[in-house]
Amino acid sequence: MKKIFKALKFTGAVAFLILTLIACDKEFNSIDSDVLGKENSNFSTSLYNITPLAYNKKLEAVQINGLQSNLLGYYNDPLYGGTTASIITQLVPVAYDPDFGVNPEIESVVLNIPYFSTATGVENEVTTYKLDSLYGNASAPIKLTVYQSNYFLRDFNPEGDPNTAQNYFSKADRDLTNPTHNFAMSNNTTVDFDDQIIGLPILEVSNFTPSPLATEIITGTGEDEVKTYSIPALREELDNDFWKAAIIDKQDDPVLSNANNFKNYFRGLYIKTEAIADNGSMILLNLASTDANITINYTHGETDARTEATYVLNFNGNRLNTFINDYSFNSMPLADGDDGLGDEKLLLKGTAGSMTIIDLFGSEDLESLKADFIEGDNVKRLINEARLTIIEDEQSIDPDDENHEYDRIYAYDINNNNVTADYSFDPTENTAQPLNSKVVSLGQRDTIMIDNTIHKGYKIRITEHIKNIIFRDSMNTKLGLVISNNVNYITGVEIINNNDLERIPAATILTSRGTVLHGSNDNVDAKKRLKLEIYYTEPNN
């Protein structure tokens, strides 16, 4: 498999290089490419080696609603510390004005939310799976509690322009007064969801661990019993009496007549997690799945002629992730870095942690650099390739540490809050395996040799991005760098109270991992320092 993938990477790299070479819209007046022999060539290749300015930005007050999936659980990052993820979500009935029939009685109520998983084989005629996005100690349980929430998640912002969506933002730093409470910010108001609980818990699981086993579903009884299997999921039975009072007994009540009435009546669920003895695991849930729902199984009719039926509520309404972070690095809280001298260590941490801003040309005179490539309307030098080389900090991360084998970093254009041109041109998109997607432009964690010593690092190709700056007067000289577990997920989310950023990639909010890279500060060994390499060709005189 590795050999196949390496071949794919090489083919993609060749294709991308061809795209890179033909993309520049200005050409040399004359290059005698058909002259054989290096000594007879009328052009030569060389390299600009530039040290960008790179500094850290703490991520706080980031948008936590509108995410494509949601994290749940506890993860203790060995570099940065612990984070706890909980979920607040609306429920939406699949049908309104229900008729539950005569003498309805609930048989069971089942909560089902699929995990992201991959089939690995078949044992005893049942498919086996591995969980794709499980972080932390898979065997360490967490406490899982589900409450009815009294907080109304609005669709629209009453303080914004008409039809402006209501966004919610993280307040992730641990609250010392209420260290297990989950908070969010909305319109300069802080919401404590633990103060919005209605009644007793709907579900309590004191020792919950995500299972990779196929979900067994049993229907019928006795000779009519049938077993079927579906993908791994968080699947728990809920209290019948609660749902009878909340739903079945509301037949003919206006609260079940339409979406607005229902959302105001049953405002949602608060799915809360807590670590046990500072240990546990975190899992990515697929609440957008058609199989993510609460199913009320009931019967109705006369005693001797009962009919089975179901009433289903899904999670297609508003939902958000809350985080409780207890982050630090080298015993220091995460903080903004030095935007004048750059930082020695670049701290990339997901779940409202930290990212890096890269000013590509640092103290370099950009106009002088442009003059080295362009004279009037003529191009003096042709850019063949431009790339960022970023080395992992070996004092923080062992190059052989398997926990970082799947780390990916994502570079984006901060000015436009969008992907780079190189990302757009990269032909190696892999929707089934994000780890192996966009490997030409973003690269993968790979071996980099320095003084015969193995290091790990990344090579981010930004050839087209640099061409746009030098040849087309683009001003997009700053890139954002975040850690990501899915480089295909490029949707941006808002960040407030931050002078440098308006939006960040949503994928980093859903990434519990963290890494540390060498920065651009003068204290970094020059051979390991972040660098921008621009390879170019110029005609010989």
Among 79, 168, 135, CA closest to 349: 79
Q: Are residues 87 and 192 in the same domain?
A: yes
Query: What is the reported pLDDT for 541?
Result: 66
4 inside domain: no
Say if 68 falls within a structural domain. no
The answer to whether residues 411 and 284 belong to one domain is no
Cα dist from 332 to 329, 357, 409, whole Å: 5, 20, 23
Q: Is residue 282 part of a domain?
A: yes
Using left for φ > 0, alpha for ψ between -120 and 50, and beta otherwise, residue 113 falls in beta
If asked whether residues 137 and 204 sit together in one domain, one would say yes
> What 3-state class would DSSP assign to 13?
helix
DSSP run (H or E) holding 218: strand 215-219
Here the tokens at position 307 are 């009919």
**Which string of DSSP letters, residue by residue, matches 173-210?**
BPPSSSTT--EEEETTEEEEGGGSEEEEEEEEEEEE--
Residues 343 and 434 in one domain: yes
What is residue 532's three-state secondary structure? strand
How many structural domains does the chain have? 2
What pLDDT is attached to residue 35?
Answer: 43
Residue 70 falls within a domain, yes or no?
no
Beta-bridge partner residues of 320? 65, 88
Contacting residues for 408 by C-beta, under 8 A, at least 6 apart: 434, 435, 442, 444, 445, 483, 484, 485, 487
Q: Which of 489, 351, 335, 331 is nearest to 75 (CA)?
A: 351
Task: Please give the Cα distance from 134 to 136 (Å, whole number).
Answer: 7
CB 479 within 8 A of CB 409: no
Residue at 21 is within a domain: no
Q: Which residue in this structure is represented by tokens 């077993």?
A: 227
Same domain for 145 and 49, yes or no, is no
Asked whether residue 291 falls in the same domain as residue 433, the answer is: no
- Tens of pLDDT, residue by residue over 215-258, are 998 877 777 778 899 999 999 999 999 999 999 999 999 999 99
How far is residue 398's CA from residue 376's CA, in Å, rounded to a whole number? Answer: 50
- Segments in the chain below pLDDT 70: 1-41, 541
Altogether, the residues listed in the chain come to a count of 541
Rounded to an integer, what distance in angstroms lies between the CA atom of residue 530 and that of residue 521?
A: 9
Of 283, 311, 326, the residue at which a domain comes to its end is: 326
* Phi/psi-derived region of residue 249, left when phi > 0, alpha when psi is between -120 and 50, beta in every other case: alpha
Strand order through the sheet with 92-93: 92-93, 307-314, 293-300, 105-114, 233-238
Tokens of 368: 């002088």
CB 528 within 8 A of CB 85: no
Classify 7 in phi/psi space as left (phi over 0), alpha (psi -120 to 50) or beta: alpha
Q: Taking a C-beta distance cutoff of 8 angstroms, is the pair 251, 103 a contact? A: no
Please give the Cα distance from 153 to 163 (Å, whole number): 15
State whether 237 and 301 are in the same domain: yes
Kindly report, residue by residue over 422-476, the tens digit of the pLDDT. 999 999 999 999 999 999 999 999 999 999 999 999 999 999 999 999 999 999 9
Query: Are both 380 and 263 inside the same structural domain?
Result: no
Q: Give the CA radius of gyration of the chain.
A: 27
Which of 523, 422, 407 lies closest to 479 in space, CA to CA? Answer: 422
Which of 320, 423, 435 lies closest to 65 in space, CA to CA?
320
Candidates 527, 521, 522, 485; CA nearest to 506 is 485
> Which phi and psi (to 5°) does residue 260 adopt?
-60, -45
Distance of CA 498 to the CA centre of its chain: 20
> Is 15 exposed, middle or buried (CB count within 10 Å of its CB: 0-12, 13-18, 19+)?
middle
The last residue of one of the domains, among 326, 351, 383, is 326
Domain termination residue (choose one: 326, 347, 381): 326
- pLDDT for res 40: 54
Sheet strands (E) in 40-178 = 43-50, 53-58, 70-77, 81-89, 92-93, 105-114, 117-123, 126-131, 134-136, 142-149, 169-170
Q: Are residues 274 and 353 in the same domain?
A: no
Is 313 found in the same domain as 228? yes
Closest Cα partner for 355 from 410, 317, 306? Answer: 410
Residues 258 and 335 in one domain: no
Q: Are residues 286 and 347 in the same domain?
A: no
The confidence score (pLDDT) of residue 13 equals: 47
Structural domain range at position 280: 81-326
User: Does the residue 253 lie in any domain?
Assistant: yes
CB atoms under 10 Å from CB of 223, counted, come to: 5
DSSP per-residue codes, 265-331: HS--EEEEEE-BTTB-EEEEE-TTSTT-EEEEEEEES-TTS-EEEEEEEES-S-EEEEEEEEE-BTT
Distant-in-sequence, close-in-space partners of 250: CB < 8 Å, separation ≥ 6: 256, 265
Q: Tell me what pLDDT residue 178 has.
A: 96
Residue 73 within a domain = no
Q: Is 516 exposed, middle or buried (0-12, 13-18, 19+ CB in 10 A)?
A: buried
Please report, in angstroms and rounded to a whole number, the separation of the first and last CA atoms in the chain.
Answer: 49
For residue 13, being part of any structural domain is answered with no
Contact 146, 139 (CB under 8 A): no
